[in-house]
Amino acid sequence: MTDNVCIVPDTSVVIDGRITAKLKAGEYKNATVIVPEAVVSELEAQANRGKEIGFKGLEELKELSEMAKRGEIKLDYTGKRPTLEQMKLASSGEIDSMIRAVAVEKNAIFMTSDKVQSEVARAKGLNVEYLSPKMDELKELRINDFFTKDTLSVHLKANVQPLAKRGTIGKQKLVKIRDEICTETELHTITRELIERAKRDPGSFLEIEYAGAMVFQIGSMRIAVAQPPFSDGMEITAVRPVAIVRLDDYRLGKELKNRMTQRQGGILVAGPPGAGKSTFAAGVAEYLHEKGFIVKTMESPRDLQVPEAITQYAPLEHDMEKTADIMLLVRPDYTIYDEVRKTKDFHVFADMRMAGVGMIGVVHATRAVDAIQRLIGRVELGIIPQVVDTVVFIERGEVSKVYDIKFTVKVPHGMIEQDLARPVITVADFETGKVEYEIYTYGEQVVVMPVGETEDRPKGMWNLATREIRKEIQKYTRGAVDVNIVSDGNATVYMNEEDIAGVIGKGGKNIDGIEKKLGIHLDIRERAEAGEQTKKPIEHGEKNLISSFVPQVERTKKYVILTVAELSGQTVDVFSGDEYLFTATVGRKGDVKIGKDTDAAYKIIENPSIVTIKLGKET
């Protein structure tokens, strides 16, 4: 016991409450506690940003004030308040320097629980008392009272009854924990316990801290705390694994395990939220470690349950790209990336994979193929099989689908012309080898085409082809363009006579370029021949007699518009009197647009009263 001493605490020892604990224990009788104004300013700034540690520190100052009123200590505030510029430099030690200056001036004991601060103070010649964490002080957390053996997650919100998800992965049920609602005071108390545990327990971390939001990793438990202004009320969500599963517990074929161990590839572990993706990934990490591979993880927050020998890395300076730079120096055989979600995550994943590191990424997806589609547009299409060669889809804690991703050059399924061969990514069932999807470019679009659904495919494929062909041809024409798909490799295109030369180009240069880009042969014909083209066969039940309609004619700055609402989506012929003008498909709003400068538009404008639209064909 020491009597009549002068103590200057820093911010850390005020926040963790160690100074009040020592004073209440009678270790410093009749002590004078001098609190630097810099400490008050720092706590106030943290509280204004919505950080719970700021509120906790201010409550400790209130406790010191109460002790002074009872005559147990003397309390004094001194020093200068830091300027705005000094507050901005707090992370570089500016505020710590101001606090130490007060201890020097008062010739006081400098009390801190910050290891770096204590070493700097000793180097400056101060009388330092460093309060190191004591494991025997760790108490049972109140948040644990809400958990049972089968509880996956606990959901607490102010003024709401506490809820929990209980059961097993994929079979959990939301239940009410108690009838009494949670109070804001109760949730603040739980949060301050978490802050104290994160500071004192080497196995616990405050992973993320923003204004109104914190994420803790307390042992195997991940806890998210949200409060205003981020959320509309104080809320705590705690999640923990209910079981640690080994890879042998899953029904995996020998071939998939061999793929993991015989080559360092790219694997995506996909599934909906709560399906057990991270649990499976942790099982893979342990399996690979036991097989003699160097395995690391990249996580934010770090909540995978892996053996101690597997190092878990967080975003370095809040940037996973910087973490990846360090990982390449560490040279792991495999890296578990939990979770790959944003575009930047996919870029980091791809960069590490192309650098030769075996990668296992955890992604959210409702179908196995969706995991691959999330790569499209983020990773160059041609290198997707080099980045990801396997997709493991998890559903309700079980492996429900495994895909094998390969790259080949072939004619896409459903096409028959050999000159349509192109690079194709095949997505096949890993066990049977049956191709279920093909991914390739068609014009300017990337197509993810199911394989095997032959009845529905031609209609969808041909609609897509029609749009792409019309889009390309209209770059060279002024008038309307009609497209008739004859087969998977051939199409007939009808246009005005004056547009044909521009589409063909000198020596056929333009049409060759169009055909090469689209991968389909085009038969260019004058629109006058359109009336002779073979129409689409009439569906069963349709009448084969011609129906004639008088359209409403409207002129705009760019178009002449013919409107017949009841013909929406139909293919029709347009006539001026007895003269055939063109064939077109009526839009969803029942209109047909004709370029204002075309011959057909001039004839319609010249005598709109004799314009008719005909549907059907003569018997």
Check residue 294 and give its pLDDT. Answer: 92
Structure tokens at 95: 């505020």
- Please name which of 535, 555, 562 lies closest in space to residue 618, comparing C-alpha atoms: 535
Q: How far is CA 190 from the centre of its chain?
A: 30
Q: How far apart are CA 215 and CA 51, in angstroms?
A: 12
Q: How far apart are CA 397 and CA 400, in angstroms?
A: 9
Check residue 583 and give its pLDDT. Answer: 80
Do 395 and 496 have their domain in common? no
Alpha helical stretches, state H, 211-276: 254-262
In a domain, 539, yes or no: no
Number of compact structural domains in the chain? 5
- Residue 396 sits at the vertex; the CA angle it makes with 349 and 277, to the nearest 5 degrees, is 20
- Which residues, including other chains, have CB under 8 Å from residue 2's CB and lie 6 or more apart? 27, 28, 29, 31
Per-residue pLDDT of 528-574, as tens digits, reads 544 444 333 323 333 334 567 788 888 887 788 888 877 776 778 88
In a domain, 535, yes or no: no
Check residue 71 and give its pLDDT. Answer: 87
Q: How far apart are CA 423 and CA 613, in angstroms?
A: 44
Do 89 and 119 have their domain in common? yes
Last residue of a domain, one of 132, 161, 180: 132
Do 300 and 442 have their domain in common? yes
Do 378 and 265 have their domain in common? yes
In a domain, 60, yes or no: yes
Per-residue pLDDT of 445-465, as tens digits, reads 888 888 864 444 445 566 777
Domain that holds residue 74: 2-132
In a domain, 195, yes or no: yes
Backbone angles phi, psi at 118, to 5 degrees: -65, -40
In a domain, 94, yes or no: yes
In a domain, 137, yes or no: no
Whichever domain contains 474, its CATH number is 3.30.300.20
Backbone angles phi, psi at 581, to 5 degrees: -105, -55
Do 356 and 265 have their domain in common? yes
Check residue 619 and give its pLDDT. Answer: 34
Whichever domain contains 8, its CATH number is 3.40.50.1010
Do 345 and 269 have their domain in common? yes
Do 500 and 558 have their domain in common? no
In a domain, 343, yes or no: yes
Check residue 531 and give its pLDDT. Answer: 42
Do 157 and 209 have their domain in common? yes
In a domain, 320, yes or no: yes
Do 437 and 319 have their domain in common? yes
- Residue 262 sits at the vertex; the CA angle it makes with 261 and 268, to the nearest 5 degrees, is 60
- The list of the chain residues with pLDDT below 70 reads 1-3, 50, 86, 88-92, 133-137, 169-170, 242-244, 414-419, 452-462, 486-489, 527-547, 569, 588, 616-619
Last residue of a domain, one of 420, 450, 480: 450
Do 19 and 160 have their domain in common? no
Last residue of a domain, one of 395, 422, 450: 450
Contact 613, 553 (CB under 8 A): no
Check residue 238 and give its pLDDT. Answer: 92
Do 491 and 594 have their domain in common? no
3-state SS assignment for residue 269: strand
Beta strand 552-555 with 547-549 is unpaired
Do 162 and 222 have their domain in common? yes
Check residue 603 and give its pLDDT. Answer: 85
